[in-house]
Amino acid sequence: MPLKPAIDPEQWILSNPNDLISLTKWQRTVNLLAKLFDAPAGFLVQHTPSGYQITIASEQNTNPYSAGMVVEPQANIFCRKIVETRKSLYVANAMIDPCWDSNPEVHGDGFRSYLGVPVFWPNGKAFGTFCVMDYRETNYDDTYFELIEQLKDILEADLSLLELYTHMQKLAVTDPLTELNNRRGFCSLAQQRIRLAKRMGSRLGVFYLDVDKFKQINDNYGHAVGDEVLIDVAKAMHKCVRSSDVIGRMGGDEFVALVLIEHDSDFDAIAQRFTDQFAQYSEQDLPLYTVAIGYIDVDLNMEVEGILALADQDMYQHKVE
């Protein structure tokens, strides 16, 4: 399964706090950066298509900007240059370079010097920048460049950990073959949906699906073809339910769907939709297969495991002998 970004790259990290990120630790790192550089302002800045947001601002009276502040994406600020070039940027005196004439940090707030480095997610996508600014012209030597890189590594290590942990969490609840929820993932999501349905006074149904004589498919066509059939069952299920419904693979050739029911007729209609969809798939390169489908009207006071057992029993009555 490819590693996906832990946090939606279009969302501000400040608006979507994650327990794995210690903003207090990041705050200490940014404060230390400003202190070591004897600079009036230090920042960790996040970039998204909406612009640049200060995630952390050094805690100093001399710092005019605070965490949460957003600058529009087209503004000619230093951080934008770093995100666009993916390279560090050192401007010792912005007053002597006309390219900063329209920079509000220089001409609005009086900053002269900027040193910043790009911060990346482990997949190489830019998170944003880590930087210091000064009202005076500066003359940083190589030691300072090494220092800011070292401190930046602390932030990137946290981003790596976050991504790795989120990926591991996802693996624990996902079936690797079909990428549906596995039993654990399904049960945990189903539990939440049942609680919500109880509160909202809505009705749920559970559909239990089992491929008929699946062992024979494996025996006659090979395990790889068996796998393809399972993947197709998963695809068919996606097509038959709403994206807000919960689907999962319980193991082997058994699948379930927890769906919102509005009318009594929905049960037969959904079961028919499944049957029609499998018939379509069977017409493709795969061997013909059928699926036994059982369903129950969910008693919202029951535990998920009990609900699954009842739906499984109903499915058995539809098995092709």
Ligand X SMILES: Nc1nc2c(ncn2[C@@H]2O[C@H](COP(=O)(O)OP(=O)(O)OP(=O)(O)O)[C@@H](O)[C@H]2O)c(=O)[nH]1
What residues line the site for ligand X (CB under 6 A)?
A: 177, 210-215, 218, 223, 226-227, 230, 252-253, 319
How many whole angstroms separate alpha carbon 137 and alpha carbon 118?
22
**Identity of the residue, 59 or 314, whose beta carbon is nearer to ligand X in the bound complex:** 314
Task: Provide, rounded to whole angstroms, the least separation between the CB of residue 165 and ligand X.
Answer: 27
Residue 127 vs 255, nearer CB to ligand X = 255
CA distance 252 to 219: 14
Q: Residue 70: which H helix or E strand, with range?
A: strand 70-71
Query: Helices 265-282 and 223-240 sit at what angle, rounded to 10 degrees?
Result: 140
Q: Nearest distance from residue 2's CB to ligand X, in Å?
A: 20
Residue 234 CB contacts under 8 Å (≥ 6 apart), including other chains: 178, 179, 180, 247, 249, 255
Of 157 and 177, the one with the shorter C-beta distance to ligand X is 177
Report in angstroms how near the CB of residue 207 gets to ligand X at its nearest.
Answer: 16
Nearer Cβ to ligand X, position 98 or 176? 176
| Least distance (Å) between residue 177 CB and ligand X | 5
145, with CB counted inside 10 A (0-12, 13-18, 19+), is middle
Q: How far apart are CA 102 and CA 20, in angstroms?
A: 38
Q: Closest approach of Cβ 226 to ligand X, in Å?
A: 3
Shorter beta-carbon distance to ligand X: residue 211 or 296: 211
CA distances from 88 to 84, 109, 138, 171, 272 (A): 11, 22, 16, 35, 59
Distance CA 293, CA 283 (A): 19
- The H-assigned helical ranges of the chain are 23-36, 78-85, 104-107, 142-172, 183-200, 214-221, 223-240, 265-282, 304-316
Residue nearest to ligand X (CB): 226
> Dihedral through CA 271, CA 277, CA 281, CA 283, nearest 10?
100
In the bound state with ligand X, the residue whose beta carbon lies nearer, of 30 and 234, is 234
Supply the minimum distance, in Å, between the C-beta of residue 317 and ligand X. Answer: 13
Biggest distance spanned by C-alpha atoms of the chain: 85
| Residue number, 105 or 254, with CB nearest to ligand X | 254
Q: Closest distance between ligand X and the C-beta of residue 269, in Å? A: 25
